[in-house]
Amino acid sequence: MKKKKLMNKIIVLALFVFYMYALLKIILFKFDSIDMTFLWHQLQENLGNPVRIMNRLQLGNFIPFKSISNNIQSLSSHDVINLVGNITVFIPFGMFLVLLSKNKGMSFIGVLAQSLSLSLCLECLQVVFFIGSFDVDDLILNTSGGLLGYSAFKLYDKFKLISLSVIIALIVGGSLLLFIDSKDQVVSIETVKQIKEAKGFDEMLRKKDFLKKVKESLKVNGFETVAMVTSSPSAKRLTIDIYLKNEPNNKIKKEIESIVKTVGKENNIDFDSLTIKVKKYEEPKSNG
């Protein structure tokens, strides 16, 4: 009897480790290989430039049920996968929380809190590593999935219709197959491959001292910049935020745009898309 219980614990733990690995690979790496060097580079880039993180957050959705409502209204196969997939992929997590808790004593509130925490952590990591955007509806769907898993386990515990190992294997396998089968339709504007290409594009810009030349050219033309921030959502697409001391009018904005584009042409930089935003620099407000 003890040997059987130990074997069940090992099976459950092994399945949980596999499940968490697959979950991270699906959500953070969009089915690509886990590249720690790439993640470290993304982390350094973004922590050294908090404006990029703020810009990324502005692209997110913080209105509950907005994305869910949009998906239901359009209801394409892509939308169905987003809705069902975000729920299903967290169902095993709710079950594992109960199975791995002492005497299977995990409560409904405990599962809700931990499912929400994991989902929030994954959403924040996507922003910090610049591999996705924040969506509050993902938190709602993921947490609902965790609670469904909890409820499914409680039903099993009451009726014991089939083997525990079978029910876990079916749910884990079903969740992962759903996502793997729909990997070409995963809800993400960017993929890790695109981001790596963008990284190469950024490195090329650095080698050509593009920003330095832009700043020098602006200075020659009488524009003193306070700060410049760039982001490359994909290869050959560049957004530059240029901050000036004074509020720029439309004429100044057009002159600066023309200067930046000229510097790009002079250095044989081929842009598919170049977005230039000229703004007044706002001093950070002191808490004191």
**pLDDT higher than threshold 60 for residue 225:** yes
Cβ contact 171:132 at 8 Å: no
Q: What is the pLDDT of residues 84-136, one digit of tens each?
A: 888 888 988 998 898 888 777 889 999 999 999 999 999 998 888 877 778 99
Q: Is the pLDDT of residue 287 over 70?
A: no
Q: What is the pLDDT of residue 37?
A: 77
Max mean pLDDT range (41-45, 51-55, 109-113): 109-113
| Measured CA angle at 216 (ends 50, 276), to 5 deg | 50
Higher pLDDT, 176 or 68: 68
Selected residue with higher pLDDT from 176 and 44:
44
Q: What is the pLDDT of residue 132?
A: 76
pLDDT at 243: 82
Higher confidence at residue 232 or residue 40?
Answer: 40
Of residues 121 and 253, more confidently modeled = 121
pLDDT of residue 190: 45
List pLDDT tens digits, range 162-219.
556 566 666 666 555 555 444 443 334 345 556 666 667 777 777 778 888 888 888 8
Split at pLDDT 50, 70, 90, the class of 31 is: low
Of these ranges, 3-7, 34-38, 75-79, 115-119, the one predicted with the greatest mean pLDDT is: 115-119
pLDDT recorded at residue 189: 39
